[in-house]
Amino acid sequence: MTNSTETNEIEVFKFPQLVLEQTLYTLNQLKAAAPESAHIALAGRSNVGKSSLINALAKRKQLAKVSSTPGKTRSVNLYRVEPQGFYLTDLPGYGYAKRSKSERELWANLIEKYLVECENLAAVAVLLDCRLEPQEADIMMVKFALAHNIPIIPILTKADKCTQKERSDRISKWTVLIPRGEPLAVSSHTGMGLEKVWKKLIQTALRSPLMQARDAAQDTVQDTAHGTVQEMTPDMTREICSEADGEMPAEAQRGTENGIAVSAEAAERAEIVRSGAEAAAAETEKPKKIRTKRGAAAREREAQKKREQEKARIKAKEEKSRAKHKRK
């Protein structure tokens, strides 16, 4: 009799990979980027440590450029998360230190439209400085997201520079302002909380309607392809050969009845049929674009704006015509 020992293996969390996919500058580029996958936007004040957090999550030092001048970034970086397949959208820090008023207004307008109109936006991760009391700019960002029903992932950065009591105090205050989720304390320097942040990001992205629809479609395709292979019985193989050649050779027929492959040629034809079935299933099961309430509201506002512009144009034309008639 042998003694058996049971070993409980501790599951080690494997950090996903971050790949810089695109650098974007306009609203159209943002809305057209990666339409088949969920986005999670990263937003925060200019000096909150967003680039450092991205590098820490990626376990790379130079993936996102860390500048000593806050607000230097003027583009939107799109990072692909592998193997999960969703995206992190690194937005410019609000505050835009040392930028002109017109430039600040331009970026604020772009970010606002992106957050409201992007139909595959799953959530916005709001980065908050753990060392500071809730700031006005951060509170405005949180209220904006809540007003537009955008899920929020609050993340307290630079938590290693605070005492445990200070962290607890900040978490309590932000929990009151963001009732749907307790802030996650994180440190890019020590690595504290990085695993929790990754798990929250992944969970939020995979639960979004877009990703669930995509995964369901992929499962259907795999099930269809698997079923096609399993159903390739000797009778089906015999039928394929008889349709192609008119009649199956007697030797091949005997081999098929014994459960043996018909022939190299018949196996090749069966593989062609399987490939065709998989391609057809993939074509018919493409995930449909998810149209959210937030996107519908944005489209309605845009349509209303166009209607008002058209009315104003017609009114101006009529007034011009009346003025011209009076002169005559």
Say if 178 falls within a structural domain: yes
Mark whether 167 and 270 lie in a shared domain.
Answer: no
Contact 40, 127 (CB under 8 A): no
The answer to whether position 9 is within a domain reads: no
Assigned domain for 7 exists:
no
d(CA 19, CA 17): 6
* Domain coverage including residue 280: 212-284
At which of 207, 222, 243 does a domain end? 207
The 3-state DSSP class for residue 83 equals: coil
Q: How much is the pLDDT for 19?
A: 94
Query: Does 146 lie in the same domain as 173?
Result: yes
Q: Clarify whether residues 176 and 62 are in a common domain.
A: yes
List Cβ neighbours of 159 (8 Å cut-off, separation of 6 or more).
130, 167, 185, 186, 187, 192, 193
Confidence (pLDDT) at 180: 77
Domain for residue 171, yes or no?
yes
Q: What is the mean pLDDT of each run of 10 residues along the chain (328 residues)?
A: 47 90 87 88 92 94 70 77 95 71 75 89 96 93 93 96 94 90 92 96 92 75 56 48 45 42 48 53 49 67 79 80 70
Residue 243 lies in a domain: yes
CATH code of the domain in which 60 resides:
3.40.50.300
Give the pLDDT confidence score for residue 262 in this predicted structure.
Answer: 38
Last residue of a domain, one of 155, 187, 207: 207
Q: Which residues pair with 245 in a beta bridge?
A: none
Whether residue 152 is found in the same domain as residue 85: yes
* Residue 134 included in any domain: yes
Q: Are residues 110 and 224 in the same domain?
A: no
Domain boundary among 207, 227, 249: 207
The CA distance from 67 to 44, in Å, is 15
Residues 37 and 161 in one domain: yes
In a domain, 11, yes or no: no
Residue with tokens 């205050």: 173
Question: What does pTM read for this prediction?
Answer: 0.64
Structure confidence at residue 223 (pLDDT):
61
Say how many residues make up the chain.
Answer: 328
48 plus 138 within the same structural domain:
yes
Say what the pLDDT of residue 145 is.
Answer: 93
Is residue 222 domain-shared with residue 142, that is, in the same domain? no
- The amino acid present at 244, given as its one-letter code, is A
261, 127: one domain:
no
Same domain, yes or no: 57 and 192: yes
Supply the pLDDT for residue 214. 76
Residue 170 lies in a domain: yes
pLDDT at position 197, please?
A: 97
Q: How many independent structural domains does the chain possess? A: 3
Same domain, 48 and 112: yes
Same domain, 273 and 310: no
